[in-house]
Structure 1
Amino acid sequence: MMLAIRSTIAAAAVVMLSGCAGLGGLGQVLQAPSFQVEGAQQAQLRLLGPSRDRPTGGAAIRLYARVRNPNPVGLTLTRVVGNLALGGQRAAAVSFPLGVPMQANGESVIPLDVVLSFSDVPGLANVAQSALTGQPIRYALNGTVAVDAGLLGQPSFGPTQLLEGSLRVAR
């Protein structure tokens, strides 16, 4: 009797371990959170005047992302690292330490704030002109997303395009 129980447990363990090995790591066990532009809140750009830190002025940008956890387990969205492009020009490297808990199969709206100096990105003159004239400005946020899934680990996903949309000057 004990031999039959041990054999059953051993066989089950072999099946479970071989199944995990075939998955190729946590990236295939967990799905990446999905990002989309939050339609209820408009992305904003505020022009910043010259200062000691930004002698030619700059911009404060707030993007709103609706993030969905497609997994049947809760996780914490820990970091987004990547690049923000404005008007087709790379504008800033971004790193958002987040710590946002995500329920299983849940959604959250997350504001993402970026401040940049026009002197750091001379190719953004057309963006500044569009902002001053009230024209919409196209943006794209590309990057890698990291999560903490507890016992399932801390995988990262990407790089990929996370958000794409347009923003206007907030008045």
Structure 2
Amino acid sequence: MILPGRLPLPVLLTAALLGSLLSLSSCAPALQRVVKVPTFTVQQTRLTGLALGSPAIARVTIKLRIDNPNPVAARLANINGHFYLNGADVGTVNLPNIDVPARGSALQDALLELPVSFQTTAIWLQVARGREMPYRVDGTFTADFGALGQPSFGPYTLAQGLFQQPAILP
């Protein structure tokens, strides 16, 4: 029995949840406290080419796994960062939009053409000769969670690891 002037508990809980979701979509900092940050893991790095002409370019393929711990699907956009190899900033990284299912993951191949400078030539030659090099990708991204909003994350380290592959140069 519902008493006059009182609402049943399920109606009150639903109203409270909808009210909090509506207020979160207009307040990004509050949304970031509720939404968990999607994570990036590098599955593989590969130097596919090294051209030391003019311009000098290193072609790199990075296979990424993106995990979404949230109960709603996300579209990650504006993924921008810097690729560091052995501590040296070797270029910018701009990834395409990536759709990640709710509580799921997605794989993405990133094809990078990074400039080779006088300062970074020795590092790229060592990678091409099969020497292990530490790397990291620092950056930012925006996640579209539909009705929950579009928070931006970063800057922070998106991924890091050791770049090693069989030698492609003697």
Measured against the shorter chain, the TM-score band is 0.7 to 0.9
Report if the CA contact (8 A) 1:46-1:169 is conserved.
no
C-alpha distance in 2 between matches for 1:11 and 1:30: 20
2:31 is aligned, of 23, 26, 46, to 26
2:46 is aligned, of 36, 41, 44, to 44
* Superposition deviation, residue 56 in structure 1: 4.7
Report if the CA contact (8 A) 2:130-2:167 is conserved.
no
Identity score, percent: 27
1:156 is aligned, of 149, 152, 158, to 152
Question: Residue 78 of structure 2 corresponds to which residue in structure 1?
Answer: 79
Q: Structure 2: 5+ residue runs without aligned partners? A: none
Deviates most, 146-155 or 131-140: 131-140
Question: Residue 62 of structure 1 corresponds to which residue in structure 2?
Answer: 61
DSSP 3-state at the match of 2:125: helix
What TM-score do you get using the length of structure 1 for normalisation? Answer: 0.77
DSSP 3-state at the match of 1:27: helix
Show CA shifts across 1:122-154 (max 9, x none). Answer: 320221330342212321101112111111111
Report if the CA contact (8 A) 2:140-2:153 is conserved.
yes
Aligned residues: 161
C-alpha distance in 2 between matches for 1:37 and 1:69: 15
Change (3 A) 1:3 1:95: same
Report if the CA contact (8 A) 1:45-1:169 is conserved.
no
Report if the CA contact (8 A) 1:47-1:57 is conserved.
no
Q: Could you list the runs of 4 or more consecutive aligned residues of structure 1 that deviate by over 6 angstroms after TM superposition?
A: 8-12
* Superposition deviation, residue 46 in structure 1: 2.5
User: Is 2:170 aligned against 1:168?
Assistant: no
DSSP 3-state at the match of 1:122: coil
1:147 is aligned, of 143, 147, 150, to 143
Report if the CA contact (8 A) 1:47-1:169 is conserved.
no
Report if the CA contact (8 A) 1:23-1:29 is conserved.
no
C-alpha distance in 2 between matches for 1:70 and 1:27: 13
Q: Give the letter aligned to residue 113 of structure 2.
A: V
Question: Residue 107 of structure 1 corresponds to which residue in structure 2?
Answer: 105
* Superposition deviation, residue 73 in structure 1: 1.0
CA RMSD between the two structures: 3.1
What TM-score do you get using the length of structure 2 for normalisation? Answer: 0.77
Question: Residue 118 of structure 2 corresponds to which residue in structure 1?
Answer: 122
Q: Give the letter aligned to residue 30 of structure 2.
A: G
